[in-house]
Amino acid sequence: MVAVAPVVGELRADTGLSSALAGLLTTLPVLSFGAFAPFAPRLARRIGLETAVALSLVLLAAGIGLRILSPVALLFAGSLIAGAAIALANVLLPAYVKREFRRPGPVMGLYSASLNVGAAAGAAATVPLAAALGVDWRTALGLWLVLALAALALWLPVAGTGRASRTSEPMPAGQGSWSLLRQPLARWVTAYLGLQSVQFYSLGAWLPTLLADAGVPVREGGLLLGLCNVVGAAAALLAPAQAGRMITQRPLVLAVGVAYLVGLGGLLVAPADGTLVWVVAFGLAQGGGFALALTLVVLRSPTPLVAARLGGVAQCVGYLLAAFGPLVLGALYDATGGWTWPLALLLGALVPMTAAGWGAGRRAVLRSGSVSGASPAGARSPAGSAGPAGPAGR
């Protein structure tokens, strides 16, 4: 998805896309993440969790393949399909981790860190690869098809397993994904992931422009953005592992909030002075915060199915909010002629984000129709795997 941004200039020159349509092309995947995430739990019920992940990889490969073809409509269609594929995998993989690992924290850390590293690689390597191979922007985007096919090949040995959990029966009344929001704990988790995603995508989209307006050279701004992603990957690796060992994740929620406060506050008050410190602080916040939000989905769920349902709802709300974040910041920038009000808005959003994280970080798990404190022994999933029902694990 992020590979489009580095080639958008060449893409527009070749296709004649307007700025608005080019902006839609980069926003469309995030909208897809939100729109298709709620369908993942139902798909897993019908064809099995492992098969559903395999299907998401097939769709991902198909979407990337469509972007190579000439009609510009297929560029949009491919982005939509690839976004839908990633939405399914984003929901299903944490549920798989919940089912297969007694202590999911370290595995969620590796998973979250891989998202940061993959995004950094996609943004940094697309143009150099195209230049080294002497290919155009279409082929440069198509090069990432290799990774989709490699992931599918690695997943195939388990793709047909999990037949015992398949069912074509409709979801029982009151057990749909959205019914989880009747429980306060599910609303806290959803709000925290959503508001965290707004921070992640909003400033991430505008950080190079903000630094350039502050007098930071464009090349240096690009390096700082890369550093932000690297620091974020390190934080994403460590935060879930630590979360899994804690009775309550509230200290981590506060740490993420403080890191955001330092990063955003520094960029507001003195963006050209101490820029390295502000960018590192923001990288720690966005990497650790996003990984923590995904981990809370797993830790607050008693079973893999509930984890998939909660992940679908939380990511639907989160990504739809995140898709509008960069637009709102851009509109505020145009209206005020500076970054004071956009950054002030993000700073203000830290209050409800931290409050939601405080509620989501308490030692509790979702139950059918109620919220209950987690016992140290946890709860065994219906599939027979020992997923920890609370943050303390077993």
Range 183-188 average pLDDT: 93
Across the chain, mean pLDDT equals: 84
pLDDT at residue 5 tops 80: no
Mean pLDDT along residues 207-211: 82
In this predicted structure, the answer to whether residue 46 has a pLDDT above a threshold of 90 is: no
CATH for 5-159+177-373, options being 3.30.1490.20, 1.20.1250.20, 1.10.3720.10, 3.90.1720.10: 1.20.1250.20
Residue 157 predicted with pLDDT over 50: yes
> CB neighbours of 27 closer than 8 A, spacing ≥ 6?
323, 326, 327
The pLDDT of residue 163 is 56
Which ranges of the chain does DSSP label H, i.e. alpha helix?
A: 8-15, 19-36, 40-47, 49-68, 72-100, 104-133, 137-142, 145-159, 184-213, 218-244, 250-269, 275-299, 304-336, 340-360
Which pTM value belongs to this model? 0.78
d(CA 335, CA 331): 6
SS3 assignment, position 24: helix
Instruction: State residue 384's pLDDT score.
Output: 34
More confident residue, 302 or 378: 302
pLDDT of residue 82: 93
> Tokens 């916040």 sit at which residue?
285
With 90 as the cut, is the pLDDT of residue 86 above it? yes
pLDDT at 85: 95
Q: In degrees rounded to 5, what are phi and psi of residue 248?
A: -135, 145
pLDDT at 390: 33
The region of weakest confidence among 23-27, 106-110, 142-146 is 23-27
Give yes or no for a contact between 26 and 4, defined as CB atoms under 8 angstroms apart. yes
For the chain, the domains span 5-159+177-373
Q: Residue 179 — pLDDT band, cuts 50, 70, 90?
A: confident
Alpha carbon distance 155, 144 (integer Å) = 17
Indicate the range of 84-93, 214-223, 285-294 predicted with least confidence.
Answer: 214-223
pLDDT band at residue 144 using 50, 70 and 90 as cut-offs:
very high
Q: CB-based contacts of 36: which residues, under 8 Å, 6+ apart?
A: 83, 84, 87, 88
Alpha helices in 101-216 (DSSP H): 104-133, 137-142, 145-159, 184-213
Strand 364-367, strand 370-373: pairing: antiparallel
Instruction: Confirm if 222 and 207 have CB atoms less than 8 A apart.
Output: no
Higher pLDDT residue, 90 or 393?
Answer: 90
Cβ(356)–Cβ(195) under 8 Å? yes
- What pLDDT is attached to residue 175? 57
Nearest 10 degrees: CA dihedral of 27, 28, 30, 36? Answer: 160
Residue 374 has pLDDT above 70, yes or no: no
| b/e 251-269 (16+ beta carbons within 10 angstroms → b) | ebbebbbebbebbbbbbbe
